Amino acid sequence: MDHPLVSHKITLLRSVNTSSPEFRHLVEELVTLLAYEATRHVRVEPTTVQTPIAEAHGVALSHPKPLVVPIMRAGLGMLEGMMRLMPSAEVGFVGMTRDEETLQPMTYAERLPHDLTGRQCFVLDPMLATGGSLGGAVEFLVRRGANHITCLCILAAPEGIEHFRELVHELGVPTNLVVAAVDDHLNERGYIVPGLGDAGDRLYGLA
């Protein structure tokens, strides 16, 4: 996303001198900016509203309501900013971790509606590194019936974007990816370079 305010906030986010409270605040601000772009195709239906003067035509979010899915742990830091823009959305949770040896994603927790038929989903994860976690979450949602998925990430590595594109091509479900910035590469430990380090640790301290 080419926007000077987004670039400015990412620069602050990257800095090793940025504290956890500042980091959380910056993530929230960035998500609100990304969410504006990411919700461009959110489904709405016509409605009318009475103004003090006359009846006006407008729109309301369609049913079923969009589902926002933060990938725990780091995606939780993006939830508040997203819900501020779309307060009537519902929220489901997926916990993914990656095996630090194989870099393969594993699902350790899940709290989602069982049937997602026809649902529009917005998946939140600040970092798209190998793409394993985001890809795993998207596969999960598609298997339950979601038929339109938008993923919001703050930083992405080109390798992760490539992996993600291949996966969604195989799944055959309309999927959008909105990222604030694309970095240079992944290192041998699966970290984005230059990146910002471990987003979960930066948000919540070492766990």
198 contacts ligand U5P (rule: CB under 6 A) = yes
Tell me which residues in 150-169 interact with ligand U5P (CB under 6 A): 160
105 contacts ligand U5P (rule: CB under 6 A) = yes
125 contacts ligand U5P (rule: CB under 6 A) = yes
- Pick the catalytic residue: 24, 43, 98, 144? 98
Q: How far apart are CA 82 and CA 152, in angstroms?
A: 10
**Closest separation in Å from C-beta 105 to ligand U5P:** 5
- Pick the catalytic residue: 40, 102, 115, 165? 102
Q: How many residues bind ligand U5P (CB under 6 A)?
A: 22
**Rg for the chain, CA atoms, rounded:** 17
Residues in contact with 62: Cβ distance below 8 Å, sequence separation at least 6, in sequence order? 43, 44, 45
DSSP string, 63-123: SSPPEEEEEETGGGGGHHHHHHH-TT-EE-EEEEEE-TTT--EEEEEEE--S--TT-EEEE
Token pair of 47 as six digits:
């409605």
Active site residue 198: yes
Q: Which helix (H) or strand (E) holds 61?
A: strand 55-61
Binding residue for ligand U5P, selected from 74, 82, 112, 152, defined by CB under 6 A: 74
Active site residue 98: yes
Q: Which of 169, 134, 170, 174 is nearest to 151 (CA)?
A: 134
Active site residue 150: no
| CA angle, 173 then 28 then 115, to 5° | 30
Nearer to ligand U5P, 27 or 125 (CB): 125
Nearer to ligand U5P, 12 or 103 (CB): 103
> Which residues make up the interface to ligand U5P (CB under 6 A)?
71, 74, 98, 103, 105, 125, 127-134, 160, 190-192, 195, 198-200
State the catalytic residues.
Answer: 98, 102, 198, 201
